[in-house]
Amino acid sequence: MKSPIEPKLLKGFRDFLPESEIVRKSMTRKLETVFEQFGFVPIDTPAIEYAEILLGKSGGETEKQIYSWRDQGGRRVALRFDLTVPFARFLAQHRPRLVFPFKRYHIAKVWRGENPQAGRYREFMQCDFDIVGADSVSADAEILLVVCRSFKSLRIEDFKIHVSHRGALNDFLSSLGIADRSADILRLVDKSRKIGPEKTSSELAALIGPEKTDSILDFISFVDSNELALQKMAGILGEDNSHVGRLRDVYACFRELGMAHYLVFDPSITRGLDYYTALVFETFVAGAEGMGSVCSGGRYDNLVSVYSKEKLSGIGGSVGIDRLLAVIEELGELPSWKGKTQIVIPVVDEDLARYYHKLAEMLRSEGFNVEVFHEKLKLAAQFTLAEKKGIPCAVIVGGRERERNVVQVRDFATRSNFENLSVPEAIVKLKGILQV
């Protein structure tokens, strides 16, 4: 016999044990429910595509990070590194079969070969949602509303969506006569939260000189009131600036919904990515701001330019599922990992195995999740196992109970037993203990 191969994972990759996977699954189900409440529909795309298609518009940084190889047929293929590029390809390819405005969500894994750091992995799960083919305040507001509802559905109440407008910043750069440097400037401003004000200032100054740097730093400086922030922006760009008007309309919608306190107008938000052209946003959870945005997105005037000559504008957002899990863990608010099993049936007498399965089926048909144990251990050992699994109740049947067609119910929390119950009586008792 050969000696065993050491079981191990590649650096930057993780297994999800039940305690983590239960939480992740419950999170994605809640998000899916919110998307469905708003009329978004799911799609899926392959993990592997032609490398040429995935790299279409991207620069060298992406090419270094992407997992790419030649397949058995000699084709250069790659694993997707986000869900946006495949979505753009999907839209261009299936356009005639889709109903526009097209509202889709997509929750799936992506892969990046970057150097793994704390909270960064080479395989992670993204959750994207977009409205494509609608350019209106209503669509902008809805995307932000979906962000709010998503976090609330996850019982995260204390969060802020930082909102800005790429068009407004571009107008401002034009007024300074430096519109041609906008890409570099946007990237520097985008990094400012990470690299700090001094480094931002010096790097900007090297690019456009100290005077214009001061103007930009003033423009992006934080104002602690949405009304004042919008007023300041209008003061600089003009009362009739359409981008400021758009932000005002979105804000009015959130006021009407009684949700204005979730928005923060913050001109330092730019989103480094090239394809955003209008409203952009990032979301921070109170107490974990340092972990970065957990949901970001914005409006683009054309998502499909790489694959089609026709335009498709839209707005979308992306929840970093794994980063959000890390944030919830950081806040110490990770929900209980316990499974969903409510009742265990221990093995008192192996000859009753068939009856245990029958009893379990009766209880399942009442809506309970029921685990039948398979091995006859001491009853105390089976109770310990059930408690390790977080199962709150047991239904116990030995030979004597079976003869008299009764069962015993045990509530593990209070360690109380209820004997001599008929099955219908046991069901009532279990519903009481489990509060269902």
Nearest-10 crossing angle of helices 166-175, 242-256: 150
In the complex with a copy of itself, the residue whose CB is nearer, 98 or 234, is 98
Nearer to a copy of itself, 51 or 204 (CB): 51
Site mask for a copy of itself (CB under 8 A), range 387-416, x = bound: -xx-x-------------------------
**Which residues, 254 to 293, sit near a copy of itself by CB under 8 A?**
256-257
Label residue 356 exposed, middle or buried (CB < 10 Å: 0-12, 13-18, 19+): buried
If we measure between CA atoms, which residue out of 165, 158, 159, 145 comes closest to residue 268?
165
Q: Which residues of 301-332 are buried (b: 16+ CB within 10 A; e: fewer)?
A: bebbbbbbeeebbbbbbbbbbbbbbbbbeeee
Q: Return the DSSP state at 119.
A: T
Q: Does the protein bind a copy of itself through residue 347 (CB under 8 A)?
A: yes
Closest CA to 69 of 60, 61, 82, 78: 78
Which of 63, 116, 120, 134 lies at the binding interface for a copy of itself (CB under 8 A)?
Answer: 134
Q: Does 302 bind a copy of itself (CB under 8 A)?
A: no
Query: Position of tokens 């003869």?
Result: 403
Give min distance, CB of 170 to a copy of itself, in A.
20
Contacting residue, 375, 399, 400, 416, with a copy of itself by CB under 8 A: 375
Nearest to 156 by CA among 32, 250, 31: 31
**Is residue 131 close enough to count as binding a copy of itself by CB under 8 A?**
yes
How many residues interact with a copy of itself (rule CB under 8 A)? 109
Residues 80-119 that bind a copy of itself (CB under 8 A): 89-90, 92-94, 97-99, 101, 103-104, 109, 111, 113
Which residue is listed with tokens 């019982």? 155
Return the residue of 182, 201, 277, 341 that touches a copy of itself, per CB under 8 A. 341
Indicate the residue among 142 and 203 with the shorter CB distance to a copy of itself.
142
Which one of 5-13, 263-271, 285-293, 415-423 is the stretch in contact with a copy of itself (CB under 8 A)?
5-13
Phi first, then psi, for residue 304 (nearest 5°) are: -105, 15
The binding track of 221-240 with respect to a copy of itself, each residue x by CB under 8 A or -, is: --------------------
DSSP secondary structure string for all residues of 145-159: HHHHHHHHHTT---E
